[in-house]
A and B are shown apart, each in its own frame.
Chain A
Amino acid sequence: MEIIQKNFESFVSGLGKVIIQNVGGLGKVFAFMMSFFYWMLKPPLRLKLILEQLDFIGNKSIFIITLAGSFTGMVMAYQTYFGFQLINVDSLVGPVTAISLSRELAPVLTGLIVAGRAGAAMAAQIGTMKVTEQVDALEVMGINSVQYLAVPRIIAGTIAVPMLSIFFLFIGNVGSYIVGTKALLIDEALYFSKLGNFMFVSDIYQGIIKAIFFGFVVSVIGTYFGFSVTKGAEGVGKGTNLAVVWGMISVLVLDYFLTSFLVQIL
């Protein structure tokens, strides 16, 4: 009995420790986010750095978004077609794919891709700058490192992800259209007419709003873990890993809460 009690106590204290650590971590991310808003509003706004980051997060992600978007659209068309064919509604492949893409798949997959690509790069770049004292060099010069390094990345991420998501949506629909009308032989006119009947602008808005939040959160997490790096190359690796893991988890968790809110207002 005593052994069971001891094990239970150690389990509860271990669980408590994990909860306290995570809540503490969440508090630090929140404090970092507040510092971002503070320094974003302070001049100067470094437009050149924002454009450089837009190029890195946006332009340089286009190839991977094209691949992911087109194949996602094509797979969605196939999967829905074989299901819908059973109940004779295969003409709805177009709108179902388009709505899934615009509301969920485009923003979520774009968010995940950006978390893996740009979020990791942000953490690695800032983390390396931290361990090689480049961040200290900025501070010694009187330049706030959050303003110089984090603000341009977070602004660029918040702008780039919705743009990439729109591009993902477009490419995904092109893929779905090609598979639907050329491989699965759905009538082209029917495809477009059903698309027009069932797809609304609010579906696109929902995806864009989600993507804005995903871009912001992924960039905040990427830069936060970059600044949290402490111990050399090992620390940079750990920070990068945490940025990707927490960036992706945040996209998925946030998606649920945003969906439950947005379906009620849009």
Chain B
Amino acid sequence: MLHFENSAVEINNLTKVFGKHTVLNDLSFDIPRGKITTILGFSGAGKSTLLKHILGLHKPTSGEIKVLDKNLSKMDEVSLREFRQNFGMLFQYAALFDSMTAKENVLFPLKEFTKLSPEEIDEKGTNLLESVGLEEISHDKLPSELSGGMRKRVGLARALALSPDIMLYDEPTTGLDPITTKMVNDLIVKTGEVHKEQQMSSIIISHDVQATLKISDYVAFLNRGNIVEYLPAKEFAKSDHPLVQEFINL
């Protein structure tokens, strides 16, 4: 199993049980800082539950999880809420607030959490939308008027608004056409590069093997609540683990 000196996330013996069902089973692994790490796995493998633990939305049944050197299990609700400002998240369907325009969605975290003047907030919002390639004509459109790809761009701009240390991507390319999939993958790589100095870590939850191998630095394979393979992306494709081979060749 890979171990990193400079970890964004450290998971030690994490177990999560819902009723009689063990979703995460004595899970231990690290996610490096400043790199793109993808967690692959079949449906029901525990990927979303793991993501919610990293975000501090779930408490472990046992074990501990450290994010940016802070033990989330020992943090109270108020500290956890403040701590979550270190995260940005791009949801599967972008999860834009449907009563707000594209720009208002991006301005929302800036208005909530910064003390910038209205002019500065507006300027930052415009810059963020431009940085993800959303044309100005679409800035004042409601999410329902945007295409899937445009919504992803806005979702990414919103997630980056507070310059997070960790970017989480939940199934970023599911349900998108090949061109939009490439665009989203390029954006993920570009985002990582732009924030390299800040050592922003990207964690992707995905089913898309081909895209994962192209854009990731490291790939972990989660099965039945445990990591069965964790390798640099270039080596992952050559893994002889039967489950990984089955998944890659599906």
Which positions in A face B, CB cutoff 8 Å? Answer: 128-129, 132-134, 136-137, 139-144
Q: How far is the CB of B124 from chain A (nearest CB, A)?
A: 16
Does A142 lie within 8 Å of B91, measured CB to CB? no
Asked, given contacts A132-B95, A132-B98, A134-B98, whether A140 binds B89 with beta carbons under 8 Å apart, the answer is yes
Does B84 lie within 8 Å of A141, measured CB to CB? yes
Residues of B in contact (CB 8 Å), total: 22
Asked, given contacts A133-B91, A133-B92, whether A140 binds B84 with beta carbons under 8 Å apart, the answer is yes
Produce 1/0 per residue, B68-103, CB < 8 A to A.
000000000000111111010101110111100000
Q: How far is the CB of A227 from chain B (nearest CB, A)?
A: 15
B11 at the interface (CB under 8 A from A): no
Known: A133-B93, A139-B57. 9 other contacts (CB 8 A): A128-B98, A132-B95, A134-B95, A136-B57, A139-B84, A140-B89, A140-B168, A141-B109, A143-B112
Which positions in B face A, CB cutoff 8 Å? Answer: 55, 57, 80-85, 87, 89, 91-93, 95-98, 108-109, 112-113, 168
Q: How far is the CB of B247 from chain A (nearest CB, A)?
A: 25
Q: How far is the CB of B155 from chain A (nearest CB, A)?
A: 9
Residues of B within 8 A of A132 (CB): 93, 95, 98
Does B112 lie within 8 Å of A136, measured CB to CB? no
Most buried by A among B81, B87, B168: B81
Asked, given contacts A132-B95, A132-B98, A143-B112, whether A137 binds B85 with beta carbons under 8 Å apart, the answer is no
Most buried by B among A133, A136, A141, A144: A141
Measured CB to CB, the nearest residue on chain A to B87 is: A140
Residues of A within 8 A of B168 (CB): 140
Residues of A within 8 A of B98 (CB): 128-129, 132, 134
A134 to B108, CA, bound (A): 13
Q: Which of B80, B82, B97, B112 contacts A137 (CB 8 A)?
A: B97
Q: Which of B81, B93, B97 contacts A142 (CB 8 A)?
A: B81
Does B55 lie within 8 Å of A140, measured CB to CB? yes
Residues of B within 8 A of A133 (CB): 91-93, 95
Most buried by A among B85, B89, B95: B95
Residues of A within 8 A of B93 (CB): 132-133
Measured CB to CB, the nearest residue on chain B to A148 is: B112
Q: How far is the CB of A236 from chain B (nearest CB, A)?
A: 13
